[in-house]
Amino acid sequence: MRMRDFGRTGRKVSEIGFGAWAIGAAWGEVNDEEALAALHSALDSGVNFIDTADVYGDGHSEQLIAKVVKERGGERPFIATKAGRRLPEQTVAGYSAENLSSYIERSLKNLQTDTLDLVQLHCPPTDLYYHPEVFERLDKLVEQGKIMNYGVSVERVEEALKALEYPGIISVQIIFNAFRQRPAERFFELAEEKKTAIIARVPLASGLLSGKFKRDTKFAENDHRQFNRNGEAFDVGETFSGVPYEKGLDAVEKVRPLVSGDTTMAKFALRWILMFDAVTVAIPGARNPEQARSNAEAVELAPLTADTMDKIREIYQQDIKPYVHQRW
């Protein structure tokens, strides 16, 4: 497993991390035994970065991570969690000192630790980035020793760019994959200049870029790929990266011939992300040990050729860009 510097923290993290949304909720039925085995498998494969949130399974994801860390002993992985989505309504006022402190205390308990490695504001409203007092509250939590670092998870590139203006923000988590390429245009360059870590989420476009789905693929009723297909529950960009499902399937078939040898499309898609030096870590999810191992193996693939990168860009421009580029 190769490592990259996590921004200005002095920590090094694995290029492939573990996205723990799927083991918490909203991806169909969750099997705890398989989830725990997936976490162990990822860590055994050299992964040392885990991303979770206080709302994933209402804290269940955090609790599963704590269980695995306790079982393993030794050096703790870098665990990033999130706060803010417990609010009944997303308002700037909701990100009060009292609420933030309450959310962080809950995560400290769930993760069985005295200090959180990284707390990310969980896709807060855009207007929050124009309220510096919110980030001053996070600075105080750092001073109190409750959190070591803080960052943000964003929906829009504009939010990511605004976040870079705050010196305390260590990391920005953003959707980035072959079907969501806009962050690479300007944001990546500025983030590199400020040595801000970039966490690439939804790296497989909710599984579209695994190449395993068909038009008649059925998803469980409690899977966001079913219940949030049109943004019914939260931002539609979180589901298939905002790409209309059928259009995404068509684009996947154009990508498929570019996947050479005996590798999988999922590994290929992850390797594409790692071609961008600005990306610190990509966080695919895994619900079983096989998926976790396969994700980690993406780092072993040879760099993609310039011709392949150009062809992926062309597919994006022709088939995907009209649906997503100016929305996020």
State the catalytic residues. 56
CB distance 267 to 298 below 8 Å: yes
- The residue type of 324 is V
Rounded Cα–Cα distance for residues 192 and 128 (Å): 23
CB distance 183 to 237 below 8 Å: no
Q: The tokens 């083991």 sit on which residue?
A: 23
Residues near 171 by Cβ (< 8 Å), separated by ≥ 6? 6, 7, 80, 118, 120, 149, 151, 152, 196, 197, 198, 199, 280
Identify the helix (H) or strand (E) that includes residue 105. Answer: helix 97-111
3 state DSSP class of 108 = helix
Q: What is the largest CA-CA distance in the chain?
A: 54
DSSP letter at 73 equals -
Rounded Cα–Cα distance for residues 153 and 24 (Å): 18
Q: Enter the tokens of residue 183.
A: 């962050």
